């Protein structure tokens, strides 16, 4: 069932039907009515391939996530999907392995499908991938969702993780904590680097010695938080507070402390980052730094669609974070 058949059934030419479908050009009210009715009756759906061949638009967006098991990304996607869906877009989701070997391939796979735009998440900053994204963004909008892109010639939205972590660290210091441990990403995982900087700065300003043994590098898995807490608490002088670069890792640490019967917050305070939905339900509820996820995600997808439909100019935006104090500190 194609545009010709509809035209025949409605007693008009295919041009008129085309005008109805693509909603531009003049069509008489009666013709419009009749054509819509026929299309509905036969359940006509325009062929995307033919349409795409002429317009070079697919109404598809490609999204790269490093790990969907992390609820952080799932929460992002819920917001993105809702908005993109309401504007007629559908999203391809690719999972790139943590060490980024698949990213280049997946980006090519997406481009081969003529996606209209790309939303890029990564745990790392890989210069080869970055160069590719920069090249691509000349013709296909790309939005990166992390602060590590600051300074790059790319569109991004992010939160000021440095400032947020700085504030939270100061808060812990002011509550009397003196041995504050930090769970960050490994060297390869640059995504939380600015958060770690905020921690270091606050410690320095308070004249608290920076202790290498109070820093643990993980891969942003819940298990890494678990392992980190184990590493910290077995030391001769265990910390009286543990901060993590993400809630997901903080929950892992909390699990360890609970399993070991170490009381939170009496013996050790725990602070996360992200304010995931479930942090109100942990035992005890988690003190965390709120990353304005809904705003970020909304801005990311709306900016991308704006770039697709209007203006390809680079968009860069940084949001503030906010400390949320709960019972874990």
Partner DNA sequence: TTTTGTTGTGGGAACGTTCCCATAATTGAT
Partner DNA sequence: ATCAATTATGGGAACGTTCCCACAACAAAA
Positions touching DNA (CB under 7 A) are: 2-4, 7, 11-16, 18-19, 21-22, 24-31, 46-47, 49-51, 53-55
Restricting to residues 176-235, which ones interact with a second copy according to CB under 8 A?
222-223, 226
Helix ranges (H only) for the chain are: 3-10, 14-21, 29-41, 48-55, 71-86, 103-112, 127-136, 161-174, 193-205, 222-233, 247-260, 293-309
260: tokens are 């070991």
The minimum distance between CB 30 and a second copy, in angstroms, equals 27
268: tokens are 């050790």
Three-state DSSP class for 117? strand
The minimum distance between CB 74 and a second copy, in angstroms, equals 4
Tell me how far apart the alpha carbons of residues 267 and 329 are, in angstroms, rounded to a whole number. Answer: 10
Q: Which is nearer to a second copy, 13 or 69 (CB)?
A: 69
Q: Which is nearer to a second copy, 106 or 170 (CB)?
A: 106
148 closest CA partner among 169, 123, 185: 123
Kindly tell me which residue out of 14, 31, 36, 46 binds a second copy, with binding defined by CB under 8 A.
Answer: 46
Tell me how far apart the alpha carbons of residues 115 and 109 are, in angstroms, rounded to a whole number. Answer: 10
**Residue span 127-146 as binding mask against a second copy, x where in contact by CB under 8 A, dash where not:** --------------------
* Cα dist from 82 to 16, 116, 206, 294, whole Å: 33, 17, 44, 11
Kindly tell me which residue out of 205, 259, 309, 311 binds a second copy, with binding defined by CB under 8 A.
Answer: 259
The minimum distance between CB 89 and DNA, in angstroms, equals 16
Candidate segments 15-23, 86-94, 186-194, 197-205, binder of a second copy by CB under 8 A: 86-94
Candidate segments 18-26, 34-42, 56-64, 141-149, binder of a second copy by CB under 8 A: 56-64
């Amino acid at each position: 069932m194609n545009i010709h058949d509809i035209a025949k059934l409605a007693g008009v030419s295919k041009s008129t039907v085309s005008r109805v479908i693509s909603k531009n050009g003049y069509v008489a009210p009666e013709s419009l009515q009749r054509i819509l009715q026929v299309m509905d009756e036969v359940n006509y759906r325009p062929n995307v391939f033919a349409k795409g061949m002429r317009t070079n638009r697919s109404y598809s967006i490609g999204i790269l996530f490093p790990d969907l098991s992390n609820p952080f990304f799932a929460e992002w996607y819920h917001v993105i999907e809702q908005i993109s869906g309401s504007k007629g877009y559908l999203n391809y989701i690719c999972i790139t392995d943590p060490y980024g070997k698949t990213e280049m391939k997946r980006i090519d796979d997406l481009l081969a499908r003529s996606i209209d735009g790309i939303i890029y998440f990564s745990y790392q900053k890989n210069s080869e991938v970055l160069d590719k994204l920069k090249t691509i963004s000349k013709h296909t909008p790309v939005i990166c969702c992390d602060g590590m892109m600051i300074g790059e010639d790319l569109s991004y939205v992010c939160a000021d993780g440095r400032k947020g972590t700085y504030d939270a660290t100061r808060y812990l210091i002011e509550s009397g904590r003196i041995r504050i441990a930090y769970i960050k990403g490994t060297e390869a995982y640059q995504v939380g680097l600015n958060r770690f900087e905020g921690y270091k700065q606050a410690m320095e300003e308070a004249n608290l010695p920076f202790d290498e043994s109070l820093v643990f590098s993980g891969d942003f898995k819940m298990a890494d938080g678990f392992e980190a807490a184990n590493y910290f608490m077995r030391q001769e002088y265990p910390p009286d507070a543990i901060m993590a670069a993400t809630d997901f890792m903080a929950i892992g640490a909390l699990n360890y402390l609970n399993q070991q019967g170490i009381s939170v917050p009496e013996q050790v305070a725990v602070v996360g980052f992200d304010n995931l939905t479930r942090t109100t339900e942990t035992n005890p509820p988690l003190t965390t730094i709120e990353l304005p996820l809904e705003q970020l995600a909304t801005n990311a997808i709306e900016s991308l669609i704006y770039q697709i439909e209007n203006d390809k100019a680079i968009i860069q935006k940084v949001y503030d974070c906010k400390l949320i104090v709960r019972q874990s500190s």
